Amino acid sequence: MPCYFYFSRMKQTYHVPNWELWLRKKWRNIEQHPISQGIIRRIPPELRNRIPFQSIPLWIASILTGLVAVGYEHAFELFEGLAKEIYRLNPYWLFLTAPIFFTLSRWLVTTFAPHAKGSGIPQLMAAVESADTQKKRWVDSLLNLPVLLTKLASSLVLLLGGGAIGREGPTLQIAGSIFQLTYRFIPTHWHRVSQKIMLITGGASGLAAAFNTPLGGIVYVVEELTKSHIGQFRTAVFSAVIIAGMTAQLFLGSYLYLGFPRIKPLPLEMIGWVILIASIGGLLGAYFTRLILAFQRWLSPFFLSYKQWITTFILGLLFATLVNFVGEQSMGTGKSLINTILFQPETETKWYLFPARFTASILSFLTGGAGGIFATSLSSGAALGDVLNTIFQIAPEHHNLMVLLAMIGFLTGVTRTPFTSAILVLEMTDRHSAIFYFLLAGMLANVAASFVLKRSFYEIQKDLLFSQFRLDEKKLETKNQQEE
């Protein structure tokens, strides 16, 4: 199994794969070449220590992140379209394709890169927290080339089975891997930025490229990925985020993730509905998190040895059964469902689409393959907002605003990043007239979610990763002591 480090008795020793050893040798030869040495000598020492010079690796990694994010998005759309086409040809084929591809997705992760499973954001958060500390040896296990490739393959295979997943979380881990690989190949004479800054920038660049939301990426840096002060490097970080977004725009154009939904000014007397809908969204987002965690604990004994394949196959059958009852709107990212709710008000959406999206996301995540819950949380929130509009008989001209508030509320309940959620939806829709309602919804949802769960889903998953690392170290230390 590919692994970037191992522990040798009482001290840590790094294991470098053969492909990286070869690359490092070639790179060292380039560094030591007389032409390279001559170029370096011509650069004044005082310039090498300045931020613009230090930022060049950040900018290179940002361009690579933008390119990979574009390719990943096109692949995601293709595989999601193929899954829905299979369903349309014959709905019963899903009872074959869903279990097979769900199981294959888990097999890819289990075989090639165990840390590629799930969203990818907890892995990035754990890597950021471990960087530049005594735990920095863990970073190479969480962010590396096998993780990057497995993340891409496993998520696309899961999507081909109809899985209700998103690409945004995986894009962050992929971006983090790109930045970590770039960091490892920075020349020895280069005055580099810290590893922590490098990984923080990777996460922000990944989010900006995935959603075309540069402000969202910057806010996410401040709100989630780091609790420390980025100080003098803030300009370098922010410029790298912008470069990643611009690279994605170069190929995708200046697009809005959700377009321009029509919004009317909200009368002051309707502020109560804003409070209610945002709070309900936050509560249900937090309960969504609790259910995933509860099912993970309950299913953990079944994910041992050969039972894991039977369990994953059964999850695929349950997913296929759900889709056959509800329809294709419970498959994939849910972006088409959001567009239907926001831009086709004459199209009646069924009340059961919210519980269907809610359940489909849980079943897909529990398989253990790679796939995010960011986009699926937005689609669940949109379906919830549509239901609440009907229940509370909200005036049609305020329908879209309430749907967007429910999306922010549900996403905040899951991620516990109220300002990031608000800014993301703002940038996805370009509805600046509603920015204060968006920010209010994020804050209210965060307060409501805190009554259900004190921490975010990602933070809890991150702590589970750390616990597993410590347990593995302890087991290896005990084994080495027994051998002595």
Q: Give yes or no for a contact between 437 and 470, defined as CB atoms under 8 angstroms apart.
A: no
At 127, the pLDDT band (50, 70, 90 cuts) reads very high
* Residue 285: closest CA among 459, 368, 408: 408
- Residue 64 confidence (pLDDT): 93
The H-assigned helical ranges of 212-270 are 214-220, 234-252
Q: Provide the whole-model pTM.
A: 0.87
| Backbone φ, ψ for residue 333 (5° rounding) | -75, -25
pLDDT, tens digit (0-9, with 9 covering 90-100), for 239-263: 777 788 778 777 766 666 777 888 8
pLDDT, tens digit (0-9, with 9 covering 90-100), for 300-338: 888 877 889 999 999 999 999 999 999 999 999 988 899
- Residue 13 confidence (pLDDT): 38
- Residue 32 confidence (pLDDT): 67
Please check the confidence at residue 48 and state whether its pLDDT lies above 70.
Answer: no
- Arithmetic mean of pLDDT over the chain: 84
- Residue 9 confidence (pLDDT): 33
Q: Which residue has the tokens 């209210």?
A: 444
Please check the confidence at residue 12 and state whether its pLDDT lies above 50.
Answer: no
In whole angstroms, give the CA distance from residue 253 to residue 251. Answer: 6
pLDDT cut 70: percent of the chain above it: 84
- Residue 448 confidence (pLDDT): 96
User: DSSP strand E in 432-479: where?
Assistant: none
Going by the DSSP 8-state scheme, the letter that residue 192 receives in this structure is: P
Which domains, from first to last, does the chain contain? 54-252 (1.10.3080.10), 268-464 (1.10.3080.10)
In whole angstroms, give the CA distance from residue 30 to residue 188. Answer: 12
Please check the confidence at residue 55 and state whether its pLDDT lies above 80.
Answer: no
- Residue 8 confidence (pLDDT): 34
- Residue 15 confidence (pLDDT): 53
pLDDT, tens digit (0-9, with 9 covering 90-100), for 411-449: 999 999 898 899 889 888 888 888 899 999 999 999 999
Q: Which residue has the tokens 């971006």?
A: 175
Please check the confidence at residue 288 and state whether its pLDDT lies above 90.
Answer: yes
* Residue 151: closest CA among 130, 166, 140: 166
Please check the confidence at residue 386 and state whether its pLDDT lies above 90.
Answer: yes
- Residue 201 confidence (pLDDT): 86
Q: Which residue has the tokens 């990925």?
A: 225
Q: Which residue has the higher pLDDT, 208 or 224?
A: 208
Q: In DSSP terms, which residues pair with 7 in a beta bridge?
A: 12
